[in-house]
Structure 1
Amino acid sequence: MSFSTVVSAATEGLAVEFVHVEADVSNGLPVFHMVGYLASEVKEAGERVRTAIKNSGFDFPAKRTVINLSPATMRKRGASFDLPIAVAVLTALGELSGSRIQNTLIIGEMGLDGSVRKVPGILPIVAEAKEREVRRCIVPEENKAEAALVSEMQVIGVKDLKETIEFLKSGSKPQKVQQTGSVQERETEESFPDFGDLCGQKNVRRAAEIAVAGGHNLLLIGPPGSGKTMTAGCIAGILPPMSTEESMEVTKIYSVMGMVNEKQPLIRKRPFRNVHHTATRAALIGGGMIPRPGEISLAHQGVLFLDELPEFKKGVLEVLRQPLEQHCIRITRNYGTYTFPADFMLVAAMNPCPCGCYPNLERCTCTPAQIQAYLGKISQPFLDRIDLCVEAGRVDYENLTEQKKGEASAEIRMRVCRVRNLQKERYEGKKIRRNTQLEGELLKKYCALGTKEEAMMRQAFERFSLTARSYHRILRVARTIADLDGREKISEEHLSEALGYRMVDKKYWGR
């Protein structure tokens, strides 16, 4: 047999594209020619594959070898095509029967000695292979546990080219891979600050609980040392566990980025991404010449924390407006559009002025112009997308020396999980999971107001010049507060508290 085809795959953003590796070996000038719209690292595979085949003990006669990676319209990047190219060449040389590679996806990078090395993006590739009814996948040994997260798929982990060919020849059933994504899997312990150690700040603690319970965006304003950053760390400790579906969504993103743990690949804890204020727009939303997910996608189903919010460039903050509404980011290039998920909870912290002491005029050393310029870095459209804005006051000496601890994170997390489960049952069969996702008819249905509540909201809307977006966000927050209170209907008390979290930004921005 002088011609063979091996199925492989590559990731384009988070999407998976199947690639057919075709090999033709015939008499002629001894060349190794590769075509198919290849990046430089793929073109270099020719030298790696030829050397690896020889060093693995196989004969490579001096013949004309042509490799085509189709479809030709798709740019091929990375070193993950090394192993399928080698298998295709050896099949074309008659080392393997073509029937042995049918309905099999092969992927992996190779060293010059024939060893197979791990590659990123294995989980989404194997998941897509299952959707296309591929029967088995041959992957690097180091990627085996990650690939095994996809149920009902035969996963074969190989260490080198020789082992790959021996398996394809014998067809012997490999040792069963333990499903590392099982419920009994031991989670890696992580240490987060505890709300019990947060001195004072009862209002901040309450706002954080509401925010996590409904998945709302939270802004903390206060002087330096008031516990804003610690509060964000405490929030990471009260996040509810992810469902299996959510875990797979997050793990696929981290797989493409090459950030999964080899031994425990399934990510079970919600991400908490703390982004430094020097981050660029591309680092935050993703992009580059080869579009890759950014921090907002790495925070999918978790928390994106922006400390020292006004220190971020205004243009960087403004690009968050669309993802905060649509829960995804679309990056357009000349050769296509890439969509990355970005369903995250935004937590931000900031000082009220450059010195951090405003509105305490006795301590504040900033001029009115400096304060206005500092606060002016946060636009009204961005503030409209914040559900709760809470002030963290200066911590008193009595609070610091108080022996009695506050409520622990474990107790708060129990209430959060109860409310999240309530929302899950309420929205079962719908395309939403949390109160913050309520829109349209669902918002009217589950945030219906009585006569008194309607009058209260009308008065607040006119008095505080609320926008339609901020009005709806107040209703969603009130829905979460009612859930925490165990109430079916939203009352004036719930609306009053929700409105209170909108008044802090009015105090500082006055608009």
Structure 2
Amino acid sequence: MRASAWSVALTGIDGVPVEVEAAKGGGIPRTMLVGLPDKALNEAKERVRAAVKACDLPWPPQLVTFNLSPASLPKTGSHFDVAIAAAGMAAERAFPASRLRDVVLIGELSLDGRVRRVPGVLPAVLAAAKAGFTRVVVPYEQEAEAALVPGIQATGVDRLDEVVAFLKGKPLPQRAPRSAADEAPDASAYRPDLAEVVGHEEGRFVLEVAAAGRHHLYLYGAPGAGKSMLASRLPSILPELDDAEAVEVSAIHSLAGIPLDGLIRQPPFADPHHSVTPAALVGGGSAQFKPGAISLAHNGVLFLDECPEFGPKLDALRTPLECGWITINRARYSARIPAGFQLILAANPCPCGYHAVAGAQCRCDPLRVRRYQDRVSGPILDRIDIRHQLTSVNRVLLDIGLPAPESSAVVRERVLEARDRQRARLRGTPWTTNGEIAGSYLRKELTPATDLRLLNEALLRGSISARGVDKVLRVAWTLADLGGHDRISERDIRSALLLRQGAARELAS
């Protein structure tokens, strides 16, 4: 007797349906698993047999061979357990094998028959839906996550015997609704707001420009000047994710094992510590792929505080900064995963933090200062659109005479208006924001009649690179959008050049 069930193999956020074939044969009673399983998957033989026995369900008493097809595709993870168990029991006629034809089974089994949650349910269900499946069985804890995919009937199960009952067409046990105490705490109950930022008018301005055009930003200044405070508030003035962006971001977070109760609508914010490993920063793994911080920041913000401490790891950001993807190549797999983030770098001027700071005494010699600043490579800095030096607030924070700062909601309205202008101007192109526009299109289609003498002079002086010219033009268009203009002016270009060179305070002059 032969039977087969369906599951999904994941490579990054891309999935391929896998047919789990079971065939009984003669010989010593044992279980064989073929089809390039990794170690965790190969150990499913013991987990499945123990789970089936714990639930008092039938299992072939002789040799049973499982083939994971396509056999040439490496399979990783423990989420194949339920499909392997179902195929084995169908081969033993525990239920009609035809019940497995149009359902995808995902979940890990414990030794007592419980079905445990697994990472990557959302991308796996998306792949199943793309392949034409309409029904999936997942761990009960992740039923809501699977149901996020349109056109999918998701069934959550707690135990293996519930899987058998479902496949026999029997009703599943009624579960009490979750109480408020069972729900995860609302992470959005408190969100940093720009209304909490006292002073730093220039810093608030460059943050608004960065949000409006999706530009990369470099903040530098003395410790305590407010770099992290400003960076953490950028997501609060960004537009919510649309449906396609929300699904993509949620799939990446699901692959990382982060619980989901709904689609992620707020732009994500990732701030890894400088001690992060290269694999944790860009993604990877020796056997099973796991997204890195740059992918968890996709369609959101990646904040690298004390960026000189990251050292050579920063150079791994060059490719994703340009193309919005990261490709991980390993001996067993090659994964391509989205990494279209908005980068914010923050740095002190020197190791002690007080080089060239008025009223402070720097303890670093010039060579040490130079070595510290050189840790951030030129190619990375050249990919930054806006640079801004933060100075310390020169009035007491509790001074009641200070005017009330604008809230994030007010600033966000201006950002949304600027984004609408960009979307209308770029209709019919692959881009939606100024920060994404290709340089060739920017120069030939958007600014053919613009006076670029300022940029030519800066290029001749060597103060900006050829890439820097495109960066300045992108920021100039964002300034025009914030100002409600249909064309960029010489003033927009001059202001963008100052922002590129880290001289925001000169804009008023």
Q: TM-score, normalised by structure 1?
A: 0.91
Task: Compute the displacement of 1:61 (Å).
Answer: 5.1
Q: Which moved more, 1:37-46 or 1:218-227?
A: 37-46
For the 8 Å contact 2:90–2:96, the answer to whether it is kept is yes
Partner letter of residue 110 of structure 1? L
Task: Compute the displacement of 1:171 (Å).
Answer: 6.9
For the 8 Å contact 1:193–1:237, the answer to whether it is kept is yes
* Structure 1 residue aligned with 2:28: 29
Task: Provide the C-alpha distance between the structure 1 equivalents of 2:355 and 2:449, rounded to a whole number of angstroms.
Answer: 39
Relative to 1, partners in 2 of residues 1:362 and 1:85: Cα closer, same or farther, differing over 3 Å? Answer: closer
Task: Provide the C-alpha distance between the structure 1 equivalents of 2:382 and 2:51, rounded to a whole number of angstroms.
Answer: 58
| Matched length | 493
Relative to 1, partners in 2 of residues 1:282 and 1:344: Cα closer, same or farther, differing over 3 Å? Answer: same
* Structure 2 residue aligned with 1:300: 298
Task: Compute the displacement of 1:398 (Å).
Answer: 5.5
Secondary structure of 1:34's counterpart equals: strand
User: Over residues 387-423 of structure 1, what are the superposed CA-to-partner deviations in whole Å (9 max), with x where a residue is unaligned?
Assistant: 0001111221356634322222221111112222332
Task: Compute the displacement of 1:337 (Å).
Answer: 2.4
Partner letter of residue 299 of structure 2? Q
* Structure 2 residue aligned with 1:73: 72
Secondary structure of 1:76's counterpart equals: coil
Aligned with residue 324 of structure 1, among 321, 326, 333: 321
Alignment of 1:480 with 2:467, yes or no, is: no
* Structure 2 residue aligned with 1:344: 341
Matches within 5 A, 1:44-59: 44-59=43-58
For the 8 Å contact 1:447–1:479, the answer to whether it is kept is no
Q: Which moved more, 1:439-448 or 1:299-308?
A: 439-448
Matches within 5 A, 1:219-368: 219-261=218-260, 264-290=261-287, 291-313=289-311, 315-360=312-357, 363=360, 364-368=362-366
* Structure 1 residue aligned with 2:418: 419
Task: Compute the displacement of 1:344 (Å).
Answer: 0.4
For the 8 Å contact 2:25–2:64, the answer to whether it is kept is yes
Task: Provide the C-alpha distance between the structure 2 equivalents of 1:216 and 1:446, rounded to a whole number of angstroms.
Answer: 20
Relative to 1, partners in 2 of residues 1:276 and 1:188: Cα closer, same or farther, differing over 3 Å? Answer: closer
* Structure 1 residue aligned with 2:102: 103
Task: Provide the C-alpha distance between the structure 2 equivalents of 1:49 and 1:354, rounded to a whole number of angstroms.
Answer: 55
* Structure 2 residue aligned with 1:94: 93
Root mean square deviation, CA, Å: 2.4
For the 8 Å contact 1:209–1:412, the answer to whether it is kept is yes
* Structure 2 residue aligned with 1:19: 18
Task: Provide the C-alpha distance between the structure 1 equivalents of 2:170 and 2:347, rounded to a whole number of angstroms.
Answer: 61
Task: Compute the displacement of 1:10 (Å).
Answer: 2.0
Task: Compute the displacement of 1:190 (Å).
Answer: 4.0
Relative to 1, partners in 2 of residues 1:121 and 1:398: Cα closer, same or farther, differing over 3 Å? Answer: closer
Partner letter of residue 272 of structure 1? F
Partner letter of residue 78 of structure 1? G
For the 8 Å contact 2:17–2:131, the answer to whether it is kept is no
Task: Provide the C-alpha distance between the structure 2 equivalents of 1:187 and 1:399, rounded to a whole number of angstroms.
Answer: 30
Secondary structure of 1:8's counterpart equals: strand
Task: Compute the displacement of 1:503 (Å).
Answer: 2.1
Alignment of 1:369 with 2:367, yes or no, is: yes
Task: Provide the C-alpha distance between the structure 1 equivalents of 2:45 and 2:222, rounded to a whole number of angstroms.
Answer: 60
Task: Provide the C-alpha distance between the structure 1 equivalents of 2:359 and 2:155, rounded to a whole number of angstroms.
Answer: 70
Task: Provide the C-alpha distance between the structure 1 equivalents of 2:56 and 2:351, rounded to a whole number of angstroms.
Answer: 68
Q: TM-score, normalised by structure 2?
A: 0.91
* Structure 2 residue aligned with 1:5: 4
Task: Compute the displacement of 1:265 (Å).
Answer: 3.3
* Structure 2 residue aligned with 1:461: 459
User: Over residues 52-109 of structure 1, what are the superposed CA-to-partner deviations in whole Å (9 max), with x where a residue is unaligned?
Assistant: 2222232335222222222222232222111111111111111222221112211211
Relative to 1, partners in 2 of residues 1:413 and 1:10: Cα closer, same or farther, differing over 3 Å? Answer: same
Q: Which moved more, 1:418-427 or 1:158-167?
A: 418-427
For the 8 Å contact 2:165–2:172, the answer to whether it is kept is no
Relative to 1, partners in 2 of residues 1:166 and 1:380: Cα closer, same or farther, differing over 3 Å? Answer: same
Relative to 1, partners in 2 of residues 1:418 and 1:505: Cα closer, same or farther, differing over 3 Å? Answer: closer
Task: Provide the C-alpha distance between the structure 1 equivalents of 2:88 and 2:59, rounded to a whole number of angstroms.
Answer: 9
Task: Compute the displacement of 1:440 (Å).
Answer: 4.4
Relative to 1, partners in 2 of residues 1:387 and 1:77: Cα closer, same or farther, differing over 3 Å? Answer: same
Task: Provide the C-alpha distance between the structure 1 equivalents of 2:88 and 2:285, rounded to a whole number of angstroms.
Answer: 34
* Structure 1 residue aligned with 2:84: 85
Task: Compute the displacement of 1:22 (Å).
Answer: 0.9
Partner letter of residue 498 of structure 2? G
For the 8 Å contact 1:251–1:260, the answer to whether it is kept is no
Instruction: Note the residue ranges of structure 2 that are not aligned, 5 or more in a row.
Output: 178-184
Task: Provide the C-alpha distance between the structure 1 equivalents of 2:358 and 2:170, rounded to a whole number of angstroms.
Answer: 79
Matches within 5 A, 1:139-218: 139-170=138-169, 189-218=188-217
For the 8 Å contact 1:447–1:475, the answer to whether it is kept is no
Alignment of 1:394 with 2:392, yes or no, is: yes
Relative to 1, partners in 2 of residues 1:288 and 1:53: Cα closer, same or farther, differing over 3 Å? Answer: closer
For the 8 Å contact 1:449–1:490, the answer to whether it is kept is no
For the 8 Å contact 1:36–1:70, the answer to whether it is kept is yes
* Structure 1 residue aligned with 2:181: none
Task: Provide the C-alpha distance between the structure 1 equivalents of 2:167 and 2:352, rounded to a whole number of angstroms.
Answer: 68
Secondary structure of 2:384's counterpart equals: coil
Secondary structure of 1:319's counterpart equals: helix
Task: Compute the displacement of 1:275 (Å).
Answer: 1.6
Matched-pair identity in %: 40
For the 8 Å contact 2:148–2:263, the answer to whether it is kept is yes
